């Protein structure tokens, strides 16, 4: 009987320990993504004379925590000046130049939800602006001093839905009304955190207007996958630099009506990529530009921006039609930029297989026509080898066509980097 009781106790303890270990066993946790690197704040940015320059559509932050009001406490409330801080606590000054007409929107996102960020927006006047601010002679255009809104995670700013120009401490409204702005105007934003132990923030400014969104995707054309590159975008009519971003991945920009843009991408070991994007007249869905970057290595195809069309002249010779010159001019530009590169031109042609020897000859004539154009534009003939599609290549093309339900393959001519001779 005692043996039975002892065995029962041992069994109960074993089951209990097993159940407990089951409860306490933790599921494997997903690795926590690394926190974004904080942006170091420039010296003296807590004072009006040393503001941080912001750029439209380019977020600044997350910043280091703000610490103190700087050497000069420029902002203070008096009987004649309303809608400003009683005084600066932990502040930073920003300045923004408006690139085009629209509505100025601001988003301020604190790292800590409990941080209480207030801000003021002034229209910049001239070099005496900061002196006037200190004497309370510049009236703020917008001010938001409401208590931190936990529902919005402490976020604040100016929005399209905002209705109030100046929001006081007694309000819980987090966003003020947008500002109608004109190209060339400058605005100063003063941000203040009431929390002495607060964290940093991210600030982004947008000038809302009618625009067509364009998504730029840098693509490694050989690997057929997305990559990164140094991205530079310029508005041609005004010379305005829309974006200058190193190591950019997929990037969304605004195309303003009646404007034209030059988009350039550069990546070490790859050909430079440039495209002119014509103006857009209306808002539409995202347009995607797949910027195919070609690695500078043997057998890589040179990028052709357009199709090649051929015709016969009065002597029965094949030539490249005028409509194709812009595409080949891109190749000329590349070959002049990279004089160490030689190329192979492979002519291609649609074939039905009735006379592959003739197709071979015509494809060779096409390659020679491309070569002739490149030479006419100043490229040394010694850098170019031209050939047609071989009989074997044409036969393979016919095989591929037989697998198709209808139609014939019309492969484009190719210009590829040659191996070192």
How confident is the model over 271-309, as pLDDT tens digits? 888 888 887 655 556 788 999 898 888 888 887 778 899
Which two three-digit tokens encode residue 45? 């940015």
Q: What's the CATH number for 310-417? A: 3.30.1330.60
Mean per-residue pLDDT for 389-408? 80
Return the half-sphere exposure (C-beta side, CA atoms, 13 A cut-off) of residue 57: 19
pLDDT-derived band at 7, boundaries 50, 70, 90: very low
Task: Work out the mean pLDDT of the chain and round it to a whole number.
Answer: 86
Give me the mean pLDDT over the 328-351 stretch.
Answer: 90
- Reported confidence tier of residue 403, pLDDT bands at 50, 70, 90: confident
Check pLDDT > 90 for residue 121. yes
Domain span(s) for CATH 2.60.40.1120 in the chain: 212-293
Tell me what the mean pLDDT of segment 233-238 comes to: 92
| DSSP secondary structure, 128-145, as one string | THHHHHHTT-S--SEEE-
- Averaged pLDDT, 188-207: 94
Greater pLDDT, 157 or 412: 157
d(CA 299, CA 277): 29
Q: 3-state DSSP call for residue 332?
A: helix
Residues of the chain with CATH 2.60.120.1050: 52-208
Q: How many CA atoms lie within 13 A of 56 on its CB side?
A: 24
Taking phi over 0 as left and psi of -120 to 50 as alpha, with beta for the rest, 221 belongs to alpha
- Average of pLDDT values for 93-103? 95
Question: Is the pLDDT assigned to residue 94 strictly greater than 90?
Answer: yes
Residues of the chain with CATH 3.30.1330.60: 310-417
- Backbone φ and ψ for 175, nearest 5 degrees, come out as -120, 130
Task: Please determine, looking at this structure, whether the domain spanning 52-208 carries the CATH number 3.40.640.10.
Answer: no
Tell me, what's the pLDDT at 6? Answer: 44
| Fold annotation for 212-293 | Immunoglobulin-like (2.60.40)
Cα(first)–Cα(last) distance of the chain, in Å?
A: 97
């Amino acid at each position: 009987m005692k043996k039975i009781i002892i065995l029962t106790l041992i069994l109960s303890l074993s089951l209990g320990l097993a159940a407990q270990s089951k409860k306490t066993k933790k599921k494997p946790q997903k690795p926590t993504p690394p926190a974004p690197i904080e942006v170091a704040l420039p010296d003296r940015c807590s004072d009006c004379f040393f503001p941080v320059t912001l750029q439209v559509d380019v977020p600044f932050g997350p910043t280091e925590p703000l610490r103190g009001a700087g050497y000069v406490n420029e902002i203070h409330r008096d009987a004649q000046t309303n809608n400003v801080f009683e005084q600066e606590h932990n502040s930073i000054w920003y300045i923004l130049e408006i690139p085009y007409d629209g509505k100025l929107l601001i988003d301020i996102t604190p790292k800590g939800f409990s941080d209480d960020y207030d801000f003021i927006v002034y229209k910049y006047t001239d070099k005496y602006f900061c002196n006037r601010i200190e004497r309370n002679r510049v009236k703020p255009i917008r001010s938001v001093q409401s208590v931190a809104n936990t529902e919005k995670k402490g976020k604040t700013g100016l929005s399209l839905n905002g209705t109030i120009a100046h929001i006081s401490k007694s309000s819980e409204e987090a966003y003020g009304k947008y500002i109608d702005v004109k190209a060339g105007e400058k605005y100063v934003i003063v941000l203040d955190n009431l929390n002495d132990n607060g964290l940093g923030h991210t600030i982004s400014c947008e000038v809302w207007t009618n625009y067509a969104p364009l998504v730029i995707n840098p693509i490694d054309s050989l690997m057929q996958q997305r990559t990164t590159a140094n991205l530079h975008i310029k508005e041609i009519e005004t010379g305005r630099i829309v974006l200058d971003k190193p190591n950019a991945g997929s990037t969304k920009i605004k195309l303003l009506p009646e404007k034209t843009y030059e988009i350039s991408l550069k990546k070490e070991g790859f050909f430079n990529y440039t495209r002119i994007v014509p103006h857009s007249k209306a808002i539409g869905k995202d347009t995607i530009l797949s910027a195919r970057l070609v690695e500078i290595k043997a057998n890589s195809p040179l990028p052709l921006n357009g199709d090649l069309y051929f015709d016969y002249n009065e002597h029965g010779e094949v030539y490249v039609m005028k409509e194709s010159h812009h595409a080949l001019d891109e190749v000329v530009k590349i070959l002049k930029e990279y004089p160490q590169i030689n190329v192979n031109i492979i002519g291609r042609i649609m074939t039905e297989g009735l006379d592959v020897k003739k197709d071979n000859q015509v494809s060779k004539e096409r390659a020679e026509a491309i070569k002739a154009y490149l030479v006419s534009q100043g490229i040394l003939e010694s850098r170019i080898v031209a050939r047609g599609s071989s009989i074997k290549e044409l036969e393979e093309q016919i095989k591929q066509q037989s697998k198709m339900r209808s139609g014939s393959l019309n492969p484009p001519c190719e210009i590829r980097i040659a191996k070192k001779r």
